[in-house]
Every structure is written in C-alpha cells, then in structure tokens.
Structure 1
Amino acid sequence: MRLSTILRGGIVVACTAFASGTALAEDLAFTLKNATGVAVTEFYLSPSNVNNWEENLLGNDTLSAGDSIQVTVADGRATCVYDIKTVFKDGSNVDDRAINLCELGSYTVHE
C-alpha cells in the first residue's frame, strides 16, 4: 500500500506557548524512501536523547520496495537529530543513530 502522508506525534497545545511566551517548534517534514527489495512494515523515530523507541509511524500500513512517502512529524519538539529504526516484512531491521533529518530533507532506507 502506498502512503501519501504520515502525520504522527504529540499534541501541541497553543495556549501553553502563549502563556510561556515561547514559540512552537516547526513540524519536521522529510521524504522517506525505501531503496530495498523488501517492504517496510514499521518505521520508528526517536530524538537521539530519548532512550526508547516511540510509536511506529506506519501504523498498520507498509511502504513497498522502491516507494517513497512524505513524512511529517508534528511532535512540538525543536530537534532535528533522530535515531531511526526500520523493520522489514521479512523480520530484519536496521537502526541508524543521530541522523539530522533537517539537513538531509530525505531519508533512504537501505538493508
């Protein structure tokens, strides 16, 4: 199944930002490319300073081999550096650490 957009993350409460006088972080958007011969069934992003994986951004969907999608992370964080875990349909997985997604603008999955 080809996905057009993924939007996951925390809820940003605008009144909190007004009360504290701080600006909200911008959403992080990038293109996720599957350059493998296997479908991606799970895709996790966690800020590098977090010690566990956050939710699977694909949910119940998959990213077919050779496909790409636009990912938007609206978690209210002001970070660009994420650890990434990709799980494939065959059960294998790949982890990448400390990837600056703001600089790259895209992330390509390789086995």
Structure 2
Amino acid sequence: MRFILGLAGWVLLCMSTVVSAADYYVDITNRTGYTLYYMYVSPANSKSWEEDVLGEDVLVNGDTQRVTLTGYTNPYFDIRLVDEDDDSYTFWTVDVSTQDIVVTLDHLDQ
C-alpha cells in the first residue's frame, strides 16, 4: 500500500510539472528600415542570451517572424535583435502572452 501511495504521489508530481510548462509565441515585426540578422530570446530571469533563433535566416524590413517558445513556466522574455549595421534593439521583460513586438528605430539601444 505504501508503494502504491508513493507511486501515485510521484505520478502527480510529474503531471504537475508537465502542466506548469507551457508553449508561448511572439510575433516580431521589423519596421527599422534595415535587415535584422540576429534575434535572441531568453527568459527574463536569464543572465545570458540563448542562441540566435533566426539561424541562417534574416528578417527583412516589413516582414514578421513568429518565434515559438516551448516548455517555459512563465511568459516573460527578454528579446534582442541585431541589424545589418550591428545596431541592437533590446526589449526587457516582455509578456509574450499579451504582446507582440514591432521593432522601429525608436527602439535602437543607446
């Protein structure tokens, strides 16, 4: 009986972990007038940037890229984009469950 209760507790713990992880997405639209070559999206509490989500692709002016974020426990992310002139645009603590990003020259990092 003790084994069955222990096993049931373990199954519930595993299920609660799976239930708490979620998939999010954010649409990022480039309105800078420049081509964006790099796009980094990391959890807001991260101390470093994750890998470039564009990979071999680029985001030309006027286009939108959907970034799917799988297996995270909250919707807050930091987003950094880098254009063809190596200028960066950083958005801190974006709630991707409620907002998408439109990148303009107004967002240029100083």
1:10 is matched with which residue? none
1:61 is matched with which residue? 57
Identity value in percent: 28
1:98 aligns with 2:96: no
Give the counterpart letter for 1:54 in structure 2.
E
Name segments (4+ residues, structure 1) moved above 3 Å: none
Higher RCO (Cα < 8 Å, 6 or more apart): 1
* SS at 2:97 equivalent: helix
2:76 is matched with which residue? 81
In the superposition, the TM-score normalised over structure 1's length comes to 0.75
Q: What displacement does 1:90 show? A: 1.2
1:46 aligns with 2:42: yes
When residues 94 and 19 of structure 1 are mapped into structure 2, their CA distance, relative to the original with a 3 A threshold, is same
Any stretches of 5+ residues in structure 2 without a counterpart? 1-10, 106-110
Q: What displacement does 1:26 show? A: 2.3
Q: What displacement does 1:86 show? A: 0.6
1:25 is matched with which residue? 21
Task: Show CA shifts across 1:43-78 (max 9, x none).
Answer: 01111111000010001110001111222112x111
Greater share of helix residues, 1 or 2?
Answer: 2
In the superposition, the TM-score normalised over structure 2's length comes to 0.76
Any stretches of 5+ residues in structure 1 without a counterpart? 1-16
